[in-house]
Amino acid sequence: MEELKKLSLEERLKWVVENHTDIVFSSSFGQEDQAIAHAIFANDLPIEVFTLDTGRHFPETYEVMDKTKARYKKEFTTYFPDTAMVEELVKAKGFHSFYNSVEDRKECCFIRKIVPLRRALKGAKVWITGLRAEQSENRHDMPIWEWDEANQVYKFNPIIDWTFETLEEYLKENKVPQNSLHKKGFVSIGCGPCTRAIMEGEEPRAGRWYWEESKKECGLHAS
């Protein structure tokens, strides 16, 4: 897949469309995902776009969702957690069990993210993500194209080799809608209770599950 690295984002996405079927793209509406969404929507590519609504998003995240829909006049599917599973979790452990331990946090992520993701990926052959190698140490060696054994799908990471500067230039040049929290130091934006702005010198995902000493992953992207 070395030849893909010579292509632009648009060319990389057109390559996957020309060579594969049943392609989906998961967006959290962060900067990386907004760049890919722009390339998909602006070029009218036959790629299904979906998002996972955990029920704990920032208001600003919903705002950028609406701005994106208004800008491109395109639809995306929203997957929600299983109601019964969320109700049982809250009943047993309360609304903030994720602060108790890494295990409890991963349980919340499993219910609110992993289970809905499995539904979203059902029938898909290629899953496009907005992963970048710079985001964290455990994403540093991820390839542009890989087999995801857990989800039985090919995973395509079309901007894995982009720098943050490249990303910002692309977003600015194309006037892509962005979450207003990015201007307040929120580089990686997840659920409201689990995300803070990062401080100078911290890696991009340091604000995610900031109380933990962990790999800062929810389980969607196993390293």
| Type of residue numbered 136 | S
Catalytic residue, candidates 108, 109, 194, 218 = 218
Percent of the chain with pLDDT over 70: 94
- Tell me whether residue 56 is in a domain: yes
- Tell me whether residue 35 is in a domain: yes
Residue 138: the pLDDT is 66
- Tell me whether residue 38 is in a domain: yes
Where residue 66 sits, what CATH number does that domain have?
3.40.50.620
**Domain span at residue 120?**
2-179
- Tell me whether residue 17 is in a domain: yes
- Tell me whether residue 113 is in a domain: yes
- Tell me whether residue 190 is in a domain: no
Residue 216: the pLDDT is 60
Residue 208 sits at the vertex; the CA angle it makes with 47 and 55, to the nearest 5 degrees, is: 60
Q: Is 109 one of the catalytic residues? A: no
Number of domains in the chain: 1
- Tell me whether residue 7 is in a domain: yes
Positions of the chain with pLDDT lower than 50, given as ranges: 223
Q: The pTM is what? A: 0.92
Residue 3: the pLDDT is 87
Half-sphere exposure of 200 (CA within 13 A, CB side): 0
